[in-house]
Amino acid sequence: MTRRPLLWPALGFLAAAALAGCAHDAPLFGPGGFDDAKTDTANAERRAEFDRLDTDGNGVIDPTEAASDSADEALPFNRLDTNQDRKISRQEFMDAELD
């Protein structure tokens, strides 16, 4: 078996070089790090989903819009409408835990 003694140091060097391009004042994890990047992507997807459901563009999802959703699962309207005003606001939608 042939040993490759330079493999691990080379990988370490590449990893260090990649991390050197990161902002030095920003942590890798937690606020400002990779966790925020994942959250930003999830929030963008959630905002796009809200806009898709809000077919008339008035900033809320009403029962008619929720019922006309062509997704496989129905939108849990009553659970998302936390203030029970028969409209799901963007904030209610963003705050909800959707499974």
pTM of the model: 0.57
Residue pair 90/96 in contact by the 8 Å Cβ criterion: no
pLDDT tens, residue by residue, 12-52: 655 665 655 555 555 555 555 555 555 677 888 889 999 99
Q: Which DSSP string do the residues of 25-58 spell out, in sequence order? A: TS-SSSTTSHHHHHHHHHHHHHHHHHHHH-TT-S
Cα distance between residue 52 and residue 17, in whole Å: 41
How many domains does the chain fold into?
Answer: 1
Is position 57 within any domain? yes
Residue pair 63/88 in contact by the 8 Å Cβ criterion: no
Is position 74 within any domain? yes
Is position 1 within any domain? no
Is position 32 within any domain? yes
pLDDT tens, residue by residue, 49-92: 999 999 999 999 999 998 887 665 677 889 999 999 999 999 99
Q: What is the CA radius of gyration of the chain?
A: 22
Partners of 70 in beta bridges: none
List the domain range (segments joined by +) for residue 76.
27-95
Is position 55 within any domain? yes
